Amino acid sequence: MEKQSNLAVLFDFDGVIMDTEPQYTLFWDEKGKAHHPEIPNFGHHIKGQTLTQIYAHYFRTPAGLQDEITRELLDYETRMKFEYIAGAQEFMLELRKQGFKTAIVTSSNDAKMANAHRAHPELREMVDAIITADLVTHSKPNPECFLLGAETLGVPASRCVVFEDSFHGIEAGNRAGMKVVGLSTTNPEEKISDKCALTIPNFVHFSYKILFSLLQ
């Protein structure tokens, strides 16, 4: 069995570590109803996109709308519940104990992650690095964020496993040349299984030993 330090595990945040996606869906569904009634299920439609992408694609006008939504979103995030996906915390702690290099690679910005850290200050100690949207130029599905995660951890992309739930995130992991484990927390298993090396509902019963088999 190869050394765990030669492998890296990169976690998306929302829908992978924290069960926050349903809350974001509610927020963006309301924005969709108000500004894009022609797009049903707007909250699901924009999954995996950064705030910058969402603004560029759907909220360019009228003037001041982006600032208004940003204020509302920041307020909303201060009141969000940050609860772990089942088994996520235990799995991440197991990886640390076994000597794996780990990072959170998220489309969330630093302001949002500050709220998460206030709710869970232990997060910073559970990984070696946290890559946010503020550190990259190109957002998912561009692989830049995952490639930066691998570079930061000093591990080749071919020796990285990505945990993702969104279509954009899964595509980014694949384009980075990494093995992708898809979580069916946001999209049903049948929609993502053909794009992933493995799909799981959560981290309950998931072992670090499975990671070795994915990289053989």
Q: Are residues 68 and 91 in the same domain?
A: no
- The DSSP-derived string for 22-60 is HHHHHHHHHHHHHH-TTSTTHHHHTTT--HHHHHHHH--
Residues 157 and 210 in one domain: yes
Pair (184, 116) in one structural domain: yes
Burial letters 99-137, b for 16+ CB under 10 A, else e: ebbbbbbbbbeeebbebbeeebeebeebbbbbbbbebbe
Same-domain pairing of 25 and 89: no
12, 111: one domain: yes
The predicted structure's pLDDT at residue 5: 66
Instruction: Using the 3D structure, point to which of 58, 78, 98 is the last residue of a domain.
Output: 78
The half-sphere exposure of 167 on its side-chain side, counting CA atoms within 13 A, is 8
CATH of the domain at 109: 3.40.50.1000
Q: Note the pLDDT of residue 3.
A: 59
Cα(208)–Cα(210) distance, integer angstroms: 5
Is 153 found in the same domain as 57? no
Instruction: Classify residue 177 as left (phi > 0), alpha (psi -120 to 50) or beta.
Output: left
State how far the alpha carbon of 129 is from the alpha carbons of 10, 125, 165, 191, in Å. 9, 9, 20, 30
What domain range includes position 121? 4-19+83-214
Q: What is the pLDDT of residue 53?
A: 87
Length of the chain: 216
Residue 1 pLDDT: 41
pLDDT in tens, the chain (216 residues): 455 668 999 999 999 999 999 999 999 999 999 999 999 999 989 987 888 889 999 999 999 999 999 999 999 999 999 999 999 999 999 999 999 999 999 999 999 999 999 999 999 999 999 999 999 999 899 999 999 999 999 999 999 999 999 999 999 999 999 999 999 999 999 999 999 999 999 999 999 999 888 887
What's the domain count of the chain?
2
DSSP state of 113: H
